[in-house]
Structure 1
């Protein structure tokens, strides 16, 4: 059922995004001092995500015939759907929070990598990072000493990232080369966003039926190979008997 498979793809993507946000938030509140309002917001967000993950775990468990085997294979996921408020009772809170982050990372790491490889977004991310690195260095070389807002590589990096990812020029270039670099970064950012949008669309529209047909053909070929091996063995036995 294509509609069901498409729904599953949407569900996986939404969960991956929520998990990434939760991971960043947990790491941030674990190592940086934050106010009670932000901490409560992160705790509530994590609790909602844990409920979703727990529901998904129960759904997958119900579909499995060998439930104990499923639990043995996926027991680290239990750490993933434990809320971070649960760890307050323990002494090593930060370590337990990091263990939860690793559990979350493990849960959808394979699916995320498969998505990146299937859609070639990994190559686009590589090009984007390379453009940001080169843009930071060249923008600093051309604007340092001329632009009063560029005093360090950090300023140049901040300008490069915001220009590439949002298309907004935070620090306006002064030199001609700086303007050319800024224009190039805006173009790279727009191209990356367009490629990412097209990749997501193709990933959702991708027909699962074609994948099923491919796997069915492989199974048919394997069965045929088994039959050929059996026939070869029978022929060998006949030849040996005649000898």
Structure 2
């Protein structure tokens, strides 16, 4: 592996980070869907979200510090950096919810590798739910908004991620359109991941079946070879006994 220190760090922090991501998502969901929160409660939830976001940022910085080739690591993890930096901008605060996608998706991939259906369903559900929350948070108080309830946000998410796009619901704010663009890109990427995962699963199964068939054939050949060796040995033994009997048989006197 190119980065053994990062791999060791991942093994230590994957589950704690997953727990933080779940907390982040739960708190953000509560903050978005519960409109009756007092200003004090809303601020308290904001503090929790900020603390979790900072810890995820610390994780990213630790990975850079552990990397052998830091510039290469940053260059190959630009999306992680953008996910952490974009929510800092006030107009894009709803995008802070996407900070949990990378962590949770990594855990799904690691836990369910090979189980394509579970991985795909888990990823689609996670991306769709997060996108619905983000667009609702951005849109519902905007003038002329067509997405004002969570049900409408879910419907918009489903039609967008499936690339159907009926157009009956659409974002009108800049922040909502950024969420939409992110979801569109995620939908295309997800389609590629699904296709690649299914192809990989089929290839793995074909290789496994071919290897098993080759092993069985090899075992059968060994067994057949052993049986032939035994038969040849028995034939040699019989031939030897016949030769002995032929030698021991008395010779008839000539007339």
The bucket for the TM-score relative to the shorter chain is: 0.3 to 0.5
So what's the TM-score if we normalise by structure 1? 0.37
Greater C-alpha Rg? 2
Higher relative contact order by CA 8 Å / sep ≥ 6: 1 or 2? 1
TM-score w.r.t. the length of structure 2 is 0.36
